[in-house]
Amino acid sequence: MYKVSRFTAIGVFMLAPLPFGSAETVWICIWTALLAFSLATADLRSATIDDFYLLLPLFAVLVVVAAVITVQLWPNSPLHEVDAAWAVARGVVGADLPGRVSVTANGPWLAFGYPLLFVLAFTRAVYIATDAENARQLLRILAWTGLAYALYGILAGIGDPTSLLFRRKEAYIGFVTGTFVNRNTAATFFASCALLFLLPLLRFIYRQDRPSRPPSRQMTALIAYYLSSPVALGGGFVVCMVATAMTGSRAGLLLLILTVFMATALFFAPLRIGKLRRWGWLAGIAVAALLLFQLVGGAVAGRILT
């Protein structure tokens, strides 16, 4: 059951970006139900009370959101002025409809699905990551899944820039959005995946502790070995960064460049290396990012200047 639970969670993480970013209510309900099942059957033997304390602020925010929604939907609330649309509705329908702050009787609860799904996904990921090997495996899966979406987005943007999966694009024509409707959402996703490639690449650059041959001849060991090579990690980072630039999202690309600098600085800050070497790595990362920005971010640069 524990394996089924983890497989379900990882499946949700991998497939959630596919149906147009899962922005529709039906997908929110499906992923919420699957993650709830995964949490209910999760292996929590390696979890500690500190993991729960880590999640407490997230749970508190969810409770606050639920409280705000309750106030919005409270019939004839004495705390806030009700929406004038309910008086119009009473006049048209001729029924004694209670007034509410919200213009709809169930819309806010439908919107509650987004933060609820995020909390469930983050909580499940945290409990998977209580085991170090599971955490590394989850990060690798997310990185390479993101690379697959980025490759699809680039190829689709070149081959048929007016299509979004099996639909016709209604907005952002000429820009890469992958399986997402909004290019800023796509840029956030691709940039996050780029960082998942960058950090193990920095670790290899510093430690260079990768074995010279695979630990065994099993297929899973061979795949993990070759996908952890610096060439594969560097290629994944470049592809995800190119996909981010091709979205045309100014904030997406600028924040990616900023977080690349920040991640590099945070990685090297606690390490005992010379200042010259430390600043050399930071300068090298900066030059590489700026060169890549010049090569693939021309359209974004124009929008930034505008």
28-38 residue pLDDT tens: 999 999 999 99
Q: Which residues pair with 168 in a beta bridge?
A: 163
Q: Check residue 206 and give its pLDDT.
A: 76
CA distances from 45 to 2, 39, 274 (A): 11, 13, 41
Segment 290-300 shows an average pLDDT of 65
Question: Within the chain, where are the H helices?
Answer: 2-15, 25-40, 49-73, 85-93, 107-111, 113-128, 132-159, 183-207, 219-227, 230-246, 250-268, 275-296, 298-305
pLDDT at 289 over 90: no
Residue 152, exposed/middle/buried by CB under 10 A (0-12, 13-18, 19+)? Answer: middle
Over residues 210-222, the pLDDT tens digits come to 666 776 777 776 7
Nearest by Cα to 194 from 149, 164, 155, 225:
149
Q: Which amino acid is at 239?
A: V
User: Per-residue pLDDT averaged across 104-130, rounded?
Assistant: 90
What confidence tens digit (pLDDT) does each residue in 270-279 have? 877 776 776 7
3-class SS of residue 260 = helix
Average pLDDT over residues 84-97: 78
pLDDT of 80 strictly over 90: no
Per-residue pLDDT tens digits for 9-23: 999 999 999 999 998
Neighbours of 200 (CB within 10 A): 20
| Residue 293: per-residue pLDDT | 65
pLDDT of res. 226? 77
Q: CA 82: distance to chain centroid? A: 36
Rounded to an integer, what distance in angstroms lies between the CA atom of residue 20 and that of residue 189?
13
Every domain of the chain and the residues it spans: 1-130, 132-306
Measured CA to CA, the distance from residue 266 to residue 285 in angstroms comes to 13
Specify the pTM.
0.85
Identify the pLDDT of residue 299: 62
Q: Please, which pLDDT band fits residue 239 given cuts at 50, 70 and 90?
A: very high
What region does 100 belong to: left with phi over 0, alpha with psi -120 to 50, or beta?
Answer: beta
State pLDDT tens for residues 144-177: 999 999 999 999 988 888 888 888 888 888 889 9
